[in-house]
Amino acid sequence: MYTSLGTISSAAVRYGTTFASLDEAKHNILVVCIALLHALNEIQERWHLSSLDVLVQAEQHLRDLLRAECFSSSKSASLPDDATLVSILYAVWQWLHELAMSACRQIHEHVMHVPGVSRLVVWLQAHFSTTNNVPSASEVDTMTAIVLSYTEKDIPLSSALNHRIQRSMHYPINLKPFDATVQLQPAAAMVTAGCLPPTSLKSPQSMPTSPTARVHWQSSLASLSQNVLYNVRDQLRAELAATVGGTDICIVKFNRHDCHTELQLSCGAHAATKVLPGLYRTVRASSPIPLDRAIYFEMSVDHHATSCCIGLSPQALPCNALVGTQKHTIGVYSKSGMILAHSVQIPVPGLACSVTTTPSTYGLLVHRSISTTIPEAHCIQVLFSRFAGGEMAVSELCEVLVPATLELFPTVTLDSMHHTILSRFAPSDLIVPWELWTQCIAWQYPAIYTLDGTLWSARAEDTT
């Protein structure tokens, strides 16, 4: 009995001593923190720096806590020690949390004002936010179903209602009422009404308003399959050249970023069509003419009445200008057969597209070399040809001097609407046989390549 009372008494003494030591430690910690904050403020004043508001607020808050602690210690007899300690620790913890959050916010504001940091943060967010690109597993196709039965009703419509509906539609549709039984997909059938994803309404107002814009949109929709086939063909060509020949070829097509907005590119950007009225609309190829290599490419015109100009131009030529009418450009005009080279015009009757009623194919044999007379210039030799009905007309050799740093691209300028120009930059796309070139000056070049880097033809003595 006496042992138990002595043990309890000693424990009570140790408990009181512990709380007394905790009060002293808390008092000392507050004093040290106040001294540190005061020292930081003095250092900022001596360095003539603007004092942070968070430091001043922190010092004032610590002084308030110290006064509250002194006031509470004077009334320690009326308040239990454990309640006072818990409340003070909670207040200190809450203040430290607010201090840390305020300091982080101010540091973030100062860091974001550093040049380049905001751009780096945006790039990191875009680089690491890959979760948004992953489709959600809960998204299902609720707009597609299998039709089990379909029965049309023989109910006539009034002429006024029929005319009103047809006027709002862009395609001819069947206006008869019908009864249909459909079967939803298994995944879509399990989705409840509350979990259905939001759908957007489709109306005639979502279609282009003007007739020319609708023609442009419908033609681009109709050429979707052709674009897919041409893109697959180009990819297979590149893979075949890499696996069989061990070479990397460049797929050359019309450049979508260097094309007039009123030109529509189809067939995987290998064909160009003018769909809106205007004078001259120009598009360039995606690869320039290389140096010290004879390059041959073709452009097919679908109709003999097509008004276009085919040639070479730099990127400085505007997309609403005619190739051959400005400096450092050259081209052949299909309607008159005139070769245009800035201020020079050379008539070649055999190059006119109107002399025959069959579609024509224009070929350009281009060779770029360093000029022997002007070291800082390059000499561009161009040979124009026109192939139609098994016959070919060839012009004389034309030469143009351009700066050595200026790149020239195969260029097409269209003047007539709804006529298509098909580019042929790969060897398998060329339709003019090599035998027809033996009578021309093509023998001057040991080897002739296409624009994708593939050897088209070479002399026998150079290949052995």
Strands 294-301 and 447-449: parallel
Which one, of 86, 29, 87, lies nearest residue 62 by Cα? 29
Rounded to two decimals, the pTM is: 0.55
pLDDT in tens, 232-272: 899 998 888 888 878 888 899 999 999 998 898 989 999 99
Distance CA 151, CA 178 (A): 5
Helices (H), 113-210: 117-128, 159-168, 186-189
The CATH number corresponding to 252-458 among 1.25.40.340, 2.60.120.920, 2.60.120.10, 3.30.450.20 equals: 2.60.120.920
Percent of the chain predicted with pLDDT > 90? 25
Q: Answer whether residue 130 shows pLDDT above 70.
A: no
Percent of the chain predicted with pLDDT > 70? 65
Q: Answer whether residue 169 shows pLDDT above 70.
A: no
Farthest-apart Cα atoms in the chain, separation: 133
pLDDT in tens, 312-365: 999 999 999 999 999 999 999 998 889 999 888 998 888 888 766 778 899 999
The domain limits of the chain are: 2-108, 252-458
Q: Answer whether residue 42 shows pLDDT above 80.
A: no
Q: Residue type for 178, please?
A: F
- Report the phi/psi class of residue 185: left, alpha or beta, with left for phi > 0 and alpha for psi in -120 to 50: beta
